[in-house]
Chains A and B, each alone.
Chain A
Amino acid sequence: MEIIKTIELTRMFGDFIANNQIDLTVEENEIKAIVGENGAGKSTLMNMLYGLLKPTAGEIYIRGEVVHFDSPNDAIKKGIGMVHQHFKLVPSLTIYENVILGIEVERKIKLGKYSFSLPSIDHKYEAKAIQDLIDRFQFGLKSTDIVKNLSIGAKQKVEILKMLYRNVDIVIFDEPTAVLTPQEIKAFFVTLKELKKQGKSIILITHKLQEVMEVSDSVTVIKQGKVIGNRVTKETSDKELARMMVGREVLLNVEKKYQDYSKNEIVYEIKDLTTYNHDGIKVVNGISFHLRKGEILGIAGVEGNGQSELLDLLTGLSQSISGKIIFNGIDITNKWPDEMRTQKIGFIPEDRYEQGLCLDMSIAENMIAGHHGKKEVCKHGLLLTQKINEKRDRLIKSNDIRVSDCEGNVSSLSGGNAQKIILAREFDANPELLIAAQPTRGVDIGAIEYIHKSLLNLQAQGKSILLISSELSEIMSLADRIAVIYKGQIIGEVNGINASREEIGLLMAGICERKPENEVR
């Protein structure tokens, strides 16, 4: 039976048609994958199904019945839940408080046959109810833990619990795996299958086609706001889907020429960096490595082993209590980000909305962010609007960024296109060293190909790149050397050219058999 059916569903933003007469059908108890390029309109479509956006035209049918949602609450009442691309959790509250938010259980007193509810939340009952739910789906969490201390994978489970507790039977996932580590993704698929077994219907948006092939029952491909094809998963391949999405053949893995860099001069050297996090825990513990001219060094590791904190140190967002950072012979330890930028270090931060972009500012302003003091855009302390706009138009064109309104704010861009703004900005500054963290998180395959090519291109110009990524295949296809971080330390290093997944996997799990061979000093 069709559990969701949309008929000519259309959504416009001003003159821009984000969804153009979409006909989508989801069968009961299936896993439906939706794929499409960045800005194709996937999130827009889901937001309409979940009541966050109102359709401009067209109808939505749930179990054959026409519905009009004013808010997510209406959608939830009809049994539709959504786990967003960006989590909507309250960090300082516990798991059970987050799950039960909005439908708190209050204490009751009984007087004879009457029962009154008191304006007092029954924390004990809530914690137990949620723990039961956690156990039923085998999520392995403790309901009284505080959300801000959880890993990303666990946070996602909390989001799922929120929906399960509200008894939804259709769950929408918007790019659930973009932020997960390979291990967490495996666990997530187990969860998905468990949900399916318990009778839920699932809509899954993802850019990773092998995931589509692995878990989905059927696929819908969207391009520029239109449905351009429906496939049964068993009868298609990732190649075909890629071609449908992008409209041409796509290289799923870029070609890389390996070279010997060990004679090149060292341009970037990290010695014995150490720092504490907010809770006083040593999260980076004596990390040292170096980067030679023209080389790509990848840092792999299971998320939460100090990558983010190391990145904060390297980009000047936090301070090291020991050690040194030396770039081209200059000591830049604990320098501020702008000072690092003047030394020609470029950054691609891991959280594009938190650190990379200012959502409520225009595309043009974001294009020059961090470089607004440069002569080309600023004269006598005044910004040259025309020059900035020219730069914006040039970068939008050369990077194929899909924008509905180039005067608009970055908040109106799709996730992948927002990432492209950062890339365009950093590449355009022509850095000697690029520190790239999760550069392809949440971008489509066409764009991944483009970003990977750009990185290799930068390398070909003799620039060095430090690549931090939780995407092992990305590191393996780009890096010349791969260092593995574990519990705040570099536990081992392998050469990119003959690295094996197993070897790196062992290191990532903290199992170190041999000493890194080519460590200098």
Chain B
Amino acid sequence: MDFIIKIFSDSLYFTGPILLCTLGGLFAYKANMINIGLEGMMLFGGFISALILFFTHSWIIAFIAAILLAILLGLLFSYFGVTKKANFIITGFAINLLAIAVGKYVLAALGSIDINVISDVTRQMAAIDLGIIGEIPVIGPIINKQSFLTYFSFILIFICQFVLFNTKFGTYVRVVGESEEAAKSIGISINKIKYLAVIIGALLCAFAGYNVAINQLASYTPDITAGTGFIAIAAIYCGAGNPKNSSLYAILFGLSRSLAVNLSLRIGTIAGLLEMIPYIMIIIVLTVVGIIRKRKTLYRGFLHE
């Protein structure tokens, strides 16, 4: 029983960052700009917050730094991808490579293999005790003692759903993605909407990075993201950019990551193989989703949705 609870509890733990990246990235996806750079934006977020926390010992300053860097990255991505109309796949790819390179460079300059901030991370930062809720049988131990950002990521599902379908901004994002001509003809500023969509994504990715580097691991190394940004892209695609549906896939991927970790703790030597679970899961899910979508239609080739 404890083992099962552990698996589900860890699922939430792993789902948090995936969810943040997923919900962030889907705004850009809905505006018809797939942001491949989610991974890099998350890594940058983790890096800057660990670095600043290490030097200033203030998590607030670290958090603000992560936000500022995210805005900067969002502007950078949009400047090339929107204003300059460069290929945004390449732009996103560049951000991913840059994130790894900058991190490695700074680590080399510091002469360290990681940025360890364990002494600056308090219990309360890592895991919030929900008190009475934590005592509910089964459910309690599963949801208790997660970080604030993890809880926030689940609330965010509903916020995003609301924003996308019930606010002007959300409507415009969908309109821009579906028909730029329509947007243009009634004077919606397409570039502004795309910039905003990308920046929101960058911000949430930075939160994800902060969540992993500070709340969960209390240290930064260039591999802390472990493909979270790409997993998020898979989730966004599978859920067709709908916040609720995409989040379900994000949770599914979180669960498989938890399975991988917990099972490999038990099994020992061939544990390495089990680490493939989340990625194999993605391939299977993507294939199945693709086949189902294809089978529904007798039409050939690419059609606008």
Contact = CB atoms under 8 A, between A and B. Distances in A.
Given A84-B185, A88-B182, A101-B182, A316 B175 contact: no
A73 B187 contact: yes
Interface stretch (B100-108, B261-269, B295-303): B295-303
A278 B185 CA distance: 28
A139 interface: no
Interface stretch (A90-98, A253-261, A368-376, A424-432): A90-98
A121 B185 contact: no
B186 A317 contact: no
A104 interface: yes
Contacts of A275: 298
Contacts of B296: 278
Contact of A89 (B166, B182, B297): B182
Say what secondary structure dominates the interface of chain A.
loop
Contacts of B179: 88-91
B168 interface: yes
B5 interface: no
B174 interface: yes
B171 A121 contact: yes
Contacts of A104: 168, 171
B274 interface: no
Interface in B173-187: 174-175, 178-179, 181-182, 184-187
A386 interface: no
Contact of A101 (B169, B175, B300, B301): B175
Contacts of A317: 299-301
A422 B299 CA distance: 23
Contacts of B184: 88
Contact of B300 (A71, A84, A86, A316): A316
A43 B111 CA distance: 66
Contact of B299 (A84, A98, A102, A278): A278
Contacts of A73: 186-187
B167 interface: yes
A337 to B, nearest CB: 9
A278 B184 CA distance: 28
Contacts of A351: none
Point out which of A89, A90, A319 has the most chain B C-beta atoms below 10 A from its C-beta.
A90
Contacts of A336: 300
A72 B186 contact: yes
B188 interface: yes
Contact of B167 (A88, A97, A120, A312): A120
A353 to B, nearest CB: 11
A352 interface: no
Q: How large is the interface on B (under 10, 10 to 19, 20 to 34, 35 or more residues)?
A: 20 to 34
A97 B167 CA distance: 12
A321 interface: yes
A317 B301 CA distance: 8
A278 B301 CA distance: 14
Interface string B17-41: 0000000000000000000000000
A318 B299 contact: yes
A71 B186 CA distance: 9
Contacts of A441: none
A293 B186 CA distance: 51
Contacts of A106: 168
B187 A71 contact: yes
Given A72-B185, A312-B299, A321-B298, A119 B167 contact: yes
A11 interface: no
A121 B300 CA distance: 38
A88 B300 contact: no
B298 A319 contact: yes
B160 to A, nearest CB: 14
Given A72-B187, A102-B186, A91 B299 contact: no
B77 to A, nearest CB: 24
B299 A92 contact: no
A276 interface: yes
A93 B184 CA distance: 16
Nearest to B296: A278
A92 B298 contact: no
Interface in B240-277: none
A481 interface: no
Contacts of A92: 174, 178
A102 B175 CA distance: 10
Given A90-B175, A318-B299, A319-B298, A101 B167 contact: no
A452 interface: no
B191 to A, nearest CB: 14
Interface string A63-95: 000000001110000000000101011111100
A162 interface: yes
Point out which of B174, B185, B299 has the most chain A C-beta atoms below 10 A from its C-beta.
B185
A72 B175 CA distance: 17
B168 A121 contact: yes
- Pairs of residues from A and B, 8 with the lowest C-beta to C-beta distance, nearest first: A73-B187, A102-B186, A88-B185, A88-B182, A319-B298, A318-B299, A88-B181, A318-B298
Given A88-B181, A90-B175, 19 more contacts: A72-B187, A84-B185, A90-B182, A93-B174, A97-B171, A101-B188, A102-B187, A104-B168, A119-B169, A120-B162, A121-B166, A121-B168, A162-B186, A316-B300, A317-B300, A317-B301, A320-B298, A321-B298, A336-B300
20 contacts: A72-B185, A72-B187, A73-B187, A86-B181, A88-B179, A88-B184, A89-B179, A91-B178, A92-B178, A98-B182, A101-B175, A102-B187, A102-B188, A104-B168, A104-B171, A121-B168, A276-B298, A316-B300, A320-B298, A336-B300
